[in-house]
């Protein structure tokens, strides 16, 4: 019996990073729709701004670092949507820049890009924002159609 030692991944498929990230974005659509239904169009604004900022910051960061552009793999868009979904609806739009910068530049790109970061960029950015801006990050809005809060 011959044993083979090799680095991961041990199973390979034809799925590309772009295809996987597109599937993740599609799977997040019901969450975005639920946010709009529960909290209004402001939630769509927060998610949209976060998504666009993350894409822009990844493009600029890769340009400055003189690395191959990876905006097309949609991972920055996934990070933006995840960050936007975790933020309160009442988050001031300028504060979303802090979160997006933390997620993309500090957590993702400074550690080498997709697959090299040791923590989730969106959730780490959310934690940084919670610690830095506790009042704004804990100011939750009651859904428009709910009578009671538990």
Model pTM score = 0.85
Sequence-separated (6 or more) residues with CB below 8 Å from residue 14: none
Q: CB–CB of 74/121 below 8 Å?
A: no
DSSP output for 14-28: S--HHHHHHHHHHHH
Q: Provide the pLDDT for residue 54.
A: 96
Q: Provide the pLDDT for residue 124.
A: 94
Q: Provide the pLDDT for residue 134.
A: 93
For the chain, the helix, strand and coil percentages under 3-state DSSP, each to the nearest 5: 65, 0, 35
Helix (H) or strand (E) run with residue 8 in it:
none
User: What does the block give as tokens for 45?
Assistant: 């604004």
Q: What is the mean pLDDT of each run of 10 residues along the chain (150 residues)?
A: 76 84 96 92 96 96 91 94 95 95 93 85 94 91 66
Q: Provide the pLDDT for residue 145.
A: 67
């Amino acid at each position: 019996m011959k044993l083979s030692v090799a680095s991961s991944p041990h199973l390979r498929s034809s799925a590309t990073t772009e295809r996987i990230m597109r599937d993740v974005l599609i799977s997040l659509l019901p969450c975005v729709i639920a946010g709009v239904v529960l909290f209004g169009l402001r939630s769509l604004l927060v998610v949209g701004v976060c998504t666009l900022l993350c894409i822009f910051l990844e493009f600029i960061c890769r340009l400055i670092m003189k690395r191959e552009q990876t905006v097309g793999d949609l991972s920055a868009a996934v990070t933006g949507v995840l960050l936007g979904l975790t933020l309160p609806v009442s988050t001031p739009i300028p504060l979303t820049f802090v979160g997006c910068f933390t997620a993309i530049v500090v957590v993702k790109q400074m550690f080498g890009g997709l697959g090299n970061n040791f923590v989730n960029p969106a959730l780490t950015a959310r934690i940084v924002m919670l610690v830095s801006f506790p009042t704004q990050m804990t100011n939750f809005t009651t859904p428009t159609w709910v009578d009671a809060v538990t």
